[in-house]
Amino acid sequence: MPSVFDRISNIIRANLNDMLDGAEDPEKMLNQILRDMSDALRQADSDIADQIAQQKMLEGDLEGAQKNAAAWQSKAELAVSKDRDDLAREALVRVNDYNEQAAIYTKQLDAQKAAVAELKSKRDLLKTKYDSAQRNKEMLVARARAAQAKSDLTKATSQAGNVDYASELERMERKIRQQEARADANAEMAENKTSVEDEFAQLGSDHQVEDQLAALKAKMAK
């Protein structure tokens, strides 16, 4: 699992503009980035507190070892003053033990202080970047959207350049002419059909008139 150092380092190195340029929804992406930054800041504060607590424990251990070394040094001097070389030797052994412990604690404390300082430095950088992102949120989103729009336009223009518009227009014109010809043919067929029906109707009408005329003549001849 990545440490808080890794998370903060990754966020600090990240280029917000590059991340937003490639995002489908820049505002949503930026909000997520800000949440990640906020989470990393909280985690950093917690880890810094833990590291400082550990540093204070090491400082206490170092101080205790130094006090013990000083105390046994005094005992060694007292033993020498009393001609008790045997006790002086034992006291000096203790002095050396505590001095060795103090040296170890000193090295650990130096490393711990460096770790705390590094974490604080990265935390401060992240806070600066977070504050900047918060202040420039709307501007960053607008720039990302403008870049995306430009990219989309370039893509659309490129795709449009691959289309043979002359052939497309010719195909559409041919289709329209076919539709017009079909409409004219349908109209002509409908007109012819009407003419034939009218002629047959006229024939029926003429026959009726002739019958009526013949009947009238026969009646008058009587």
Is pLDDT at 165 greater than 60 in this prediction?
no
Output the six-digit token pair for 44: 């950093």
User: Closest Cα partner for 16 from 151, 126, 155, 153?
Assistant: 126
Distance CA 123, CA 39 (A): 12
Structural contact between residues 34 and 70, judged by C-beta atoms closer than 8 angstroms = no
Residues spanned by the domain of 55? 4-163
Residue 168, domain member (yes or no): no
Do 118 and 209 lie in a common domain?
A: no
Give the pLDDT mean for 72-89: 93
- Type of residue at 220: M
Residue 170, domain member (yes or no): no
Is pLDDT at 99 greater than 60 in this prediction?
yes
Residue 85, domain member (yes or no): yes
Do 114 and 213 lie in a common domain?
A: no
Of 42-46, 140-144, 181-185, least confident by mean pLDDT is 140-144
Give the pLDDT mean for 60-81: 95
How many C-beta atoms lie closer than 10 Å to residue 182's C-beta?
Answer: 10
Structural contact between residues 52 and 113, judged by C-beta atoms closer than 8 angstroms = no
